[in-house]
Structure 1
């Protein structure tokens, strides 16, 4: 089953459908009707969701990537659940801190939470108007096959990022840790609409942040296909140990 956060008509979905057709005997698409970037793991609890049939085994949902994962696994494919969920291919990288906000990662995480192995896939670019989709298209199926052959824990989603270079120049698939990322804050752009009312756009501020030798960003800059296992458990072990010196641990 495929989903994404850029929307069912996004070029990355077409790429993912082509990739999935090489590894699966049957492919289903359950994806947002419109762009849902930045929705993270959001689930719609306060408004109804509508489903539209967009072709054979293709469904658009008026909701988030998390909604799509839930609708697909718990409703559309309830009686014949998929063996794998692929979320993407996202237009732009999903590395470091940005994975917290990513709807691509959120869709995969929701599928994993519902018991289905899931991968999040993203294609980095240098020019927004010239995304190198052929890199993910050419290397996607082989990458997924290799990861399926190796296997991974049920509590993790594999976050895969393809570098912004031609497929022939891409280095080997490389395991990396989530780095600090490039998010250095938020910027609020305030404007006035034609009726004189104020409205606001949120944007990330990005900076050149030290990443560390095993980081996903460092691997991406080296031209590798970057694979990072992500999980829901966000307990910070360093902070936990420090607090344990002053607070009793539950169960002890």
Structure 2
């Protein structure tokens, strides 16, 4: 296939991850202008972190393929400013080995890469495959649903810096149609410290992960994926809380700014 959009692929599970390979195969159906810049090692849970206290190295594996010693955010930065011959038309981050629903996105390296693309003015899509915690993901639903979804997203007219979060269920319900959702919210306690003693009786802690099913309102991403739907959620980099801002303005007698 000649031509097509210039697509940057990145992830947080590492350059050798199965989800990244699947995404690359699917995107190749629509364009031959694919760049892969991904972490050398897994960076799950790294969020939107950037390496500031150590050098970042990019090892070239092929003409448009690089393994980076840093975070997913580092990968986007290096691709955009150093490695690609021109800026990408779109960044696709994933397919992540595990869900990124509700507030998961604040921890997610997959989402961190998409957010960095948005800051740079490049539209981005984060894609994640739900799995049973601790088990290898089954990408059957991603295999089935992603190509049609990608076709629509790659053909869509994007504004600079827009972000979409996509989550594939473990298995797809009968109609298989994507559902446009809002972010749900889990109950507190997804991540909790689990303590123990080492061989010298010095305390240590592992962070235990337990995914609460959370808010099950029909319009949420949590409900959609639990119900076997592909959840598609548009996100904004503007984190302002307008209602709280209005209360603060009244409390502090702050003048209103022009809109």
TM-score normalised by the chain length of structure 2: 0.88
Does residue 18 of the first structure (1) align with residue 35 of the second (2)? no
Q: Where does residue 160 of structure 1 map in the other structure? A: 166
Does residue 179 of the first structure (1) align with residue 187 of the second (2)? no
Say which is worse superposed, 21-30 or 193-202, in terms of deviation: 193-202
Counting only pairs closer than 5 Å after superposition, residues 27-66 of structure 1 correspond to structure 2 as 27-66=34-73
Q: Where does residue 138 of structure 1 map in the other structure? A: 144
1:182 Cα deviation after fit: 5.3
Q: Where does residue 207 of structure 2 map in the other structure? A: 202
Change (3 A) 1:120 1:170: farther
1:86 is aligned, of 82, 92, 95, to 92
SS of the equivalent of 1:39 reads coil
Is the 8 Å Cα contact of residues 161 and 226 (structure 1) preserved in structure 2? yes
Q: Where does residue 107 of structure 2 map in the other structure? A: 101
SS of the equivalent of 1:245 reads helix
Say which is worse superposed, 11-20 or 87-96, in terms of deviation: 11-20
Structure 1: gaps of 5 or more residues: none
Is the 8 Å Cα contact of residues 190 and 200 (structure 1) preserved in structure 2? yes
Structure 2: gaps of 5 or more residues: 1-7
Is the 8 Å Cα contact of residues 160 and 225 (structure 1) preserved in structure 2? yes
Rounded to whole Å, the distance in 1 between the matches of 2:138 and 2:146 is: 13
1:94 Cα deviation after fit: 0.4
Is the 8 Å Cα contact of residues 97 and 182 (structure 1) preserved in structure 2? no
Rounded to whole Å, the distance in 2 between the matches of 1:170 and 1:68 is: 36
Say which is worse superposed, 169-178 or 193-202, in terms of deviation: 193-202
The one-character-per-residue Cα deviations of 1:147-183 (angstroms, maximum 9, x if unpaired) are: 23343443421001111105x8462011101111355
RMSD: 2.1
Rounded to whole Å, the distance in 2 between the matches of 1:179 and 1:87 is: 21
The one-character-per-residue Cα deviations of 1:168-227 (angstroms, maximum 9, x if unpaired) are: 846201110111135535311223445654432223444343343311111112221111
1:250 Cα deviation after fit: 5.3
Matched pairs, number: 250
Rounded to whole Å, the distance in 2 between the matches of 1:203 and 1:85 is: 31
Is the 8 Å Cα contact of residues 4 and 13 (structure 1) preserved in structure 2? yes
